[in-house]
């Protein structure tokens, strides 16, 4: 999955400074296209660019078309074949074909719609931009398209008339317990597109020396989780197997809509966890959301291997439910 980017925000800023701007979006691909459907490139009226629609193969041609679109104010659909040579240059085995929709802001793409999109993204709200490529209408929706949101999958509806551009909040991983597994898991999660946050009230564990450059909260886990907020794009991973630290955060997650909850510990430890939560009034259905012992059963032994198993299980739950 592509990391959460700020292409719409950049395009809006360029437009508001008077430069003018257009958004180019990959709407369809065939073969080994360099970028997935939904990838975007922002182009300013001065020729500045941010983002990518092809990994570098056709950006120059798209910029020329975008500048012309800014002149006439009309959207245009472009199609490019990516040659084997160009594909190899961006790390692909063979070429492909892409279609790119170019939309000048303020004309084809209404300014108030782009402002609404940027506001929804800032508020961590999932939102889709639907484009009617026959009548030229555009609108935002927060409802429907559940499968597309779950899979982060932009694309055409079956009739080929409506293109749905999915904008999900960035994935977050909240890790409770600054232990050895966390030292491997946090950088892996970042590489996989998560914004990780580490929670551990023990200063000697959650130190910058052990986790350089990472966001570390030294609050009690339930207070920290409450301040961060929990939503459907959040994974919670509990690594202390100390009930005093894990359980307060776990109870909040069970009452929220996080997409993944994983808790470290043996089967015996998890059985005791289930018993405690049952006594606290949580239902069997709620407790069943906990992946414990945490991670896919791949025979992991070292902290790094356990981190791989946790990240793999997160991915499986995110993509397959």
Q: Where are the domains of the chain?
A: 7-167, 171-320
Mean pLDDT over the full length of the chain? 90
Q: What whole-number distance in Å separates Cα of residue 189 and Cα of residue 204?
A: 22
Q: What whole-number distance in Å separates Cα of residue 298 and Cα of residue 291?
A: 14
What's the confidence (pLDDT) of residue 306? 97
Give me the residues of the chain with pLDDT under 70, please: 1-4, 32-33, 82-95
Q: What whole-number distance in Å separates Cα of residue 11 and Cα of residue 113?
A: 13
Residues above pLDDT 70, as percent of the chain: 93
What's the confidence (pLDDT) of residue 150? 80
What's the confidence (pLDDT) of residue 93? 47
What's the confidence (pLDDT) of residue 83? 64
What's the confidence (pLDDT) of residue 47? 93
Angle between helices 303-320 and 180-191 (to 10 degrees): 40
What's the confidence (pLDDT) of residue 2? 41
Q: What whole-number distance in Å separates Cα of residue 163 and Cα of residue 156?
A: 4
Neighbouring CB atoms inside 10 A of 33's CB total 25
- Both tokens of 304, joined, read 């790094």
Q: What whole-number distance in Å separates Cα of residue 3 and Cα of residue 123?
A: 17
Candidates 263, 297, 80; CA nearest to 177 is 263
Q: What is the DSSP string of 170-188?
A: PEEEEEE--SHHHHHHHHH
Phi and psi for 85 in degrees, rounded to 5?
A: -65, -45
> Do the Cβ atoms of 239 and 295 come closer than 8 Å?
no
Q: Helix or strand or coil: residue 315?
A: helix
* CATH number among 3.20.20.370, 3.40.50.720, 3.40.640.10, 3.10.20.30, domain 171-320: 3.40.50.720
pLDDT in tens, 163-197: 999 999 889 999 999 999 999 999 999 999 899 99
Helix (H) or strand (E) holding 61: helix 59-72
What's the confidence (pLDDT) of residue 151? 83
> Do the Cβ atoms of 219 and 201 come closer than 8 Å?
yes
């Amino acid at each position: 999955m592509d990391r959460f980017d700020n292409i719409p925000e950049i395009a809006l800023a360029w437009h508001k400074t008077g430069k003018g701007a257009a958004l180019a979006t990959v709407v369809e691909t065939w073969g080994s296209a360099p970028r997935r459907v939904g990838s975007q490139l922002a182009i300013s009226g001065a020729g500045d660019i941010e983002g990518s629609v092809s990994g570098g193969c056709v950006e120059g041609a798209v910029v020329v078309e975008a500048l012309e679109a800014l002149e006439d104010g009309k959207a245009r659909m472009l199609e490019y074949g990516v040659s084997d040579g160009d594909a190899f240059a961006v790390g692909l085995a063979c070429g492909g074909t892409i279609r790119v929709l170019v939309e000048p802001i303020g004309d084809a793409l209404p300014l108030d719609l782009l402002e609404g999109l940027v506001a929804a993204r800032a508020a961590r709200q999932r939102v889709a931009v639907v484009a009617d490529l026959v009548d030229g209408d555009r609108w935002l929706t927060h409802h429907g398209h559940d499968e597309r949101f779950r899979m982060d999958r932009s694309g055409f509806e079956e009739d080929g008339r409506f293109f749905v551009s999915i904008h999900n909040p960035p994935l977050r991983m909240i890790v409770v317990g600054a232990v050895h597994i966390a030292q491997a898991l946090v950088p892996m999660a970042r590489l996989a597109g998560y914004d990780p946050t580490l929670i551990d009230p023990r200063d000697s564990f959650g130190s910058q020396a052990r986790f350089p450059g990472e966001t570390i909260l030294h609050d009690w886990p339930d207070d920290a989780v409450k301040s961060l907020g929990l939503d459907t794009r959040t994974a919670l991973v509990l690594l202390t197997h100390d009930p005093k630290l894990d359980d307060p955060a776990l109870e909040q997650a069970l009452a929220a809509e996080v997409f993944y909850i994983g808790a470290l510990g043996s089967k015996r430890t998890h059985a005791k966890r289930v018993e405690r939560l049952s006594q606290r009034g949580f239902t069997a259905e709620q407790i069943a959301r906990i992946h414990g012992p945490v991670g896919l059963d791949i025979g992991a032994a070292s902290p790094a291997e356990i981190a791989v198993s946790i990240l793999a299980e997160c991915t499986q739950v995110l993509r397959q439910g």
